[in-house]
Chains A and B, each alone.
Chain A
Amino acid sequence: MTSTVATESTPDSRSEDARLERELTDTWRLCRGFAGWFCETNHTVIARRMLVTAFVFFALGGVEALLMRLELARPDNHFIGPDRYDQLFTVHGSTMMFLFAVPVMQAMGIYLVPLMVGARTVAFPRLNAYAYYTYLIGGVFLYVSLFTDTGPDTGWFSYVPLSGPQFSPGKRVDVWSQVVTFTELSALSTAANLIVTTLKLRAPGMALNRMPLFVWAELVTSFMVIFAMPAVMLATMCLALDRLVGTHFFNSAVGGDPLLWQHLFWFFGHPEVYIIFLPALGMVSSIVVTFSRRPVVGYLPMVLSLVATAFLGFGLWVHHMFATGLAELGQGFFTAASIMIAIPSGVQIFCWIATLWSGRLVLATPLWFVFGFVAIFVVGGLSGVMVASVPIDLQVHDTFFVVAHLHYVLIGGAVFPLLGGIHYWFPKLTGRMLDERLGKAGFVLTFTGFNLTFFPMHLLGLHGMPRRIYTYRAATGFGPLNLLATVGAFVLLAGLLVVLTNVVRALLSGRDAGPDPWQSDTLEWSVASPPAPYVYEHLPCVAGRYPLWEGIRDCVVEGMDPRQRQVLVTAALDAAPDHVYVLPGPSIWPLLSAVATGVTFITMIFTPWAVPLGLALGTVCLVGWFWPRPPHEPLLAEQP
């Protein structure tokens, strides 16, 4: 279908372009006004809201971490009582894992994947809006509960029977299980959105082996979400049923089993940490390629290691349960699997180093964050290999050594690449450049603060400091290292505040970035910054893996009707154009459905009548959402 026609920029083609732009702007215009805010479904708008919300929750999680550090700074400290401290560390863990890490990575995906694959929108924009509102309601519900003394207090993985009906009275754990259900519902919707966008809306010519590595990372992550999240939704639903209507899934007295909860939760739990970590790998790949000014070494090994990490991720959840005394043979298998998963990550790091080794480096701030990532993540990875060995894990499991390990791989492995990605894509999102000096200063402070805070925890763990204790005796000798960690926490806070000031300053008076400040290789740098609502005037088509570098920026798709919100659907493997369908415009129904879901789940805690209520609301929303809107393309001319 591709025909090559030589054209030159005649005056009428320039005016024809202007008319095209006017019609596209009109077709894809954003909603106006207060009401418009709620019915907007443009993927860049929703993604920006999700990013801002995620970072607000990151800040709240950070405040909770600081309060915990203040409590642990001195032995026998009663700055916060045990009840309040339990709520703090549970809400800190739940916020960081469910309300920040997964949503922020998916928000970056929702914003960048359509741009990178050359599409004007995600496949299901209304589902995307619904996902954001559900996530927002879940997060607000958690924090309203925390401020009404109903914050969950049994840890971010809430082991039964402590979180069961007998040992956790009141509605605290119910709040936790419903918040998890909210965030998982949102993550599943976003993941489905990303998969279909990546597989069906790629620009013509972008076969699977020409997709950018960040898009590969988001695709693999989304498939992990699809198969991991149902486990935790099932687990929290069974816990809620145990607590509210008296079922016996986890009641060991009647045949249930507390270990069943652990199996179900960690079958989701371990893939969850890879769901957080894989998009970060995609960001690092993008940054390394751009600032090495050359293609990545070993594109295929990188993709295969992403897929390998995903598959292996599902096979080693039992390493969280070595201390439960399961059969030794089983532990041997899971030790091997847990050690082997270090290999794909190792391959990625070796490929990045090889790329840097043979590239022409531009030492911009994003690359500094990548260096910080490599340094910290390798330490986290190695302590991970240590924790994979059963005998060592029996010493360090549920101690501050594990707290150090998980922060090294999560902050090191995910937050540092994320900060690098923010510095790298900030110009594209806002059209402004961040200040390099402030960026590097922020990195240095964050890097030192991080290591000051979390490296001493390795030693504390080995000395015998258990996890989740609100205080400790002076005689245990944990005091000095804890004080050091608290000081480090404030240095880390300082670093993050520097990054924040850099962002705010850039928003107010940052240098104009233009479409491609870093002369990068992927398609999102071929559009304006920030991109127009219709993103591409002409949908691009691609002939290589690094389109902007291979100078074939001018391949375009024509024949799309600018007066309709048309989407070009292409084949999954080789992205050959297949058909063009019309996308529904903005709609209020995603918000109404999210509110209906919210009302149902929240009232479910208090009364079983929430189920019929939810059924009624759900039906109304389903009909409102899917009912066809004019203009109609009637199937049969004569029938109404």
Chain B
Amino acid sequence: MRAPSLLLLALLSAAGCRRERRSFSEPSPLQARVERAEPLPSGEPLSHFLDNAWAVSEGARLFGWYNCAGCHSLGGGGGMGPPLRDGAWRYGGAPADVHRSIVEGRPNGMPAFGPRIPDYQTWQLVAYVLSLSGRLRLDVEPGRPEAIAIGKPPVMVSKKLPSAEPLPEAP
């Protein structure tokens, strides 16, 4: 009876640690920005951001500061830019694709923020963008902002992150 409870405790505390860790000056997991060209790894470094509540809340702050909210609207419902709250992804919904959209921009009007946003902040933005469509763990989802009430996005049925291959070019 003791072993599983200890294991459960260890699991919970690991999840707790990962969710709560405040990491300030850690180097970007994807080396310097200059090596943007190499293929984006999957898995490990992402949980550093996608399972970290602090990274998601920093992403929420930057989503407002860097004017992502201007085109994609505060709640991610879209405006000039496409909505980020529904499950539809024009350029792929995998974290790596969202990261490339931010860094390199997209032809139909998404500006390239690569040289202007430090890399770990880009990953924080990716974490927040995925939380907009309810793709993160429930205990990592950000709370309501201290602003006008927008309401949480409909929790996505499938928590699985979409695959990495991008959709065909939009019409």
Contacts and interface: CB of A to CB of B under 8 A. Distances in A.
Interface of A: 83, 144-145, 147-150, 161, 164-167, 169-172, 242-244, 246, 248, 251-254, 605-607
B22 interface: yes
A170 B13 CA distance: 13
Contacts of B9: 144
15 contacts: A83-B22, A144-B9, A147-B13, A150-B19, A164-B146, A165-B142, A166-B57, A166-B60, A166-B146, A171-B53, A246-B144, A251-B147, A253-B148, A606-B138, A606-B139
B88 interface: no
B141 to A, nearest CB: 10
Contact of B17 (A148, A242, A244, A246): A148
B139 A169 contact: no
Q: 4 tightest CB-CB pairs across the interface, nearest first?
A: A165-B143, A169-B57, A148-B16, A170-B53
Contacts of A607: 138
Contacts of B13: 144, 147-148
B146 A252 contact: yes
Interface string B20-54: 11100000000000000000000000000000011
B151 interface: yes
Contacts of B16: 145, 148-150, 171
Given A246-B149, A246-B152, A150 B20 contact: yes
Contact of A253 (B21, B139, B147): B147
Contacts of A251: 144, 146-147, 149
Given A149-B20, A246-B151, A246-B152, A170 B146 contact: no
Contacts of B140: 170
B148 A246 contact: no
A166 B22 contact: no
A169 B142 contact: yes
A412 to B, nearest CB: 36
B53 to A, nearest CB: 4
Contacts of A172: 20
Nearest to A253: B147
A169 B138 contact: no
Interface SS of chain B: helix
B56 interface: yes
B19 A170 contact: yes
A149 B53 contact: no
Contacts of A244: 143
Contacts, number: 79
A161 B19 CA distance: 21
A166 B20 contact: no
B145 A165 contact: yes
Interface of B: 9, 12-13, 16-17, 19-22, 53-54, 56-57, 60, 138-140, 142-149, 151-152
A169 B53 contact: yes
A163 B166 CA distance: 40
A44 B93 CA distance: 62
Contact of A148 (B12, B56, B143): B12
A145 B12 CA distance: 10
A172 B9 CA distance: 17
Nearest to B18: A149
Nearest to B21: A149
Contacts of B149: 246, 248, 251, 254
Nearest to B15: A148
Given A242-B144, A244-B143, A248-B144, 14 more contacts: A149-B21, A166-B142, A166-B146, A170-B54, A171-B16, A171-B19, A171-B20, A246-B149, A251-B144, A251-B146, A253-B146, A253-B148, A254-B149, A605-B139
B21 A243 contact: no
A166 B17 contact: no
A46 B74 CA distance: 54
Contacts of B142: 165-166, 169
Contacts of A252: 146
Contact of B144 (A83, A166, A170, A171): A166
A165 B144 contact: yes
Interface centre among B12, B21, B53, B144 (most CB of A within 10 A): B144
B146 A171 contact: no
Contacts of B138: 606-607
A243 B143 contact: yes
Contacts of B60: 166
A561 to B, nearest CB: 43
Contacts of A605: 139
A252 B149 CA distance: 11
A166 B19 contact: no
B2 to A, nearest CB: 15
A638 B20 CA distance: 64
Nearest to B152: A246
Contacts of B21: 149
A244 B139 CA distance: 10
Contacts of A167: 57, 146
Nearest to A161: B146
Contacts of B151: 246
A242 B54 CA distance: 18
Contact of B143 (A144, A166, A254): A166
Contacts of A171: 16, 19-20, 53, 139
Interface centre among B16, B138, B145 (most CB of A within 10 A): B16
A73 to B, nearest CB: 23
A248 B145 CA distance: 10
Nearest to A86: B22
A170 B152 contact: no
B5 to A, nearest CB: 12
A244 B57 CA distance: 14
Contacts of A144: 9, 13
Contacts of B144: 165-166, 242, 246, 248, 251
Contacts of A148: 12-13, 16-17, 20
Nearest to B150: A246
Contacts of A243: 143
Contacts of A147: 13
Given A149-B21, A246-B152, A169 B56 contact: yes
A144 B20 CA distance: 14
A172 B60 CA distance: 18
A148 B139 CA distance: 15
A479 B8 CA distance: 45
A240 B1 CA distance: 33
Given A166-B60, A170-B54, A149 B17 contact: yes
A165 to B, nearest CB: 2
B54 A169 contact: yes
Nearest to A173: B143
Contacts of B57: 166-167, 169-170
Nearest to A87: B20
Contacts of A606: 138-139
A77 B47 CA distance: 32
Given A166-B60, A171-B139, A254 B148 contact: yes
Interface centre among B9, B60, B139 (most CB of A within 10 A): B139
Nearest to B54: A169
B7 to A, nearest CB: 15
Contacts of B143: 164-166, 169, 242-244, 246
